[in-house]
Amino acid sequence: MDLGLNGKTALVTGASRGIGLAVTEALANEGVRVVGVARTITPELEKAAAATVSADLSTTEGATAAVEAALTEVGGLDILINNVGAGDPDKLTLGGFLQIPDAQWRTMFDLNLFGVVTTTRAALPSLIERRGAIVNVSSINARMPAGGPIGYSEAKSALTSFGKRIAEEFGPQGVRVNTVSPGPVGTGIWRGAGHLGAQLAAANGVDQEQFLAALPGQFGITVGRIAEPEEVAALITFLASTQAGSITGADYVIDGGIIKTL
């Protein structure tokens, strides 16, 4: 299938690893000139992207500067992939509502919502001019507020709502906006040392390998495994393409069957 992406330009945030890197690679393979944005630029990102920008997207200044640098590099944007999210594991406290400080709430919203808002605002004039596409990466935690670290689920719920809002406002101007909501994905968040998977394993008194092996059963994953970054990237790439020209304002769950409701 020809996705009609050859020669397009894109900005991918949180692009240095995981889903963001997989999206960068998938778009580049379709002939897209990708600007990858991350706080830390990895060798893998430098290899896949046409250009890279180091920026902290949790700040207004960082998000605005990242878009300006991308526009300078490629001359305009056809696609925006707002993938940045989650947070630093060393700043994440697991526990109930009364144990979580206000700082965690602010950190979660600054990165997972406000960084996306600022990035999108800065990129929209170019996207409107080119009748482009936006894909926001949310989470199934937006639909399961009790299932994730406090602050994360709430920020992702707001992100999903934000995507619906701008899809309605800018659709008549030719900009399509969709959301992709993954369940657990085999990235460093779950498999990396010291990240969320390791923290949850320790909280449950098991080693990380045991925890990950039991995770599909505990989460009720119908397909019996967690997703891989390349699978999520394939969905995002399709939604950014001309083949998805009639899809906007949608939220696509890719969770292996965790969510059982209609």
* Catalytic hit among 152, 190, 211, 219: 152
CA distance 137 to 159: 9
252 is catalytic: no
CA distance 17 to 185: 12
Q: Which of 124, 29, 43 is nearest to 76 (CA)?
A: 124
> Buried (b) or exposed (e) across 73-109, using 16+ Cβ within 10 A?
bbeebbbbbbbbbbbebeebeeeeeeebeeebeebbb
**Catalytic machinery residues:** 152
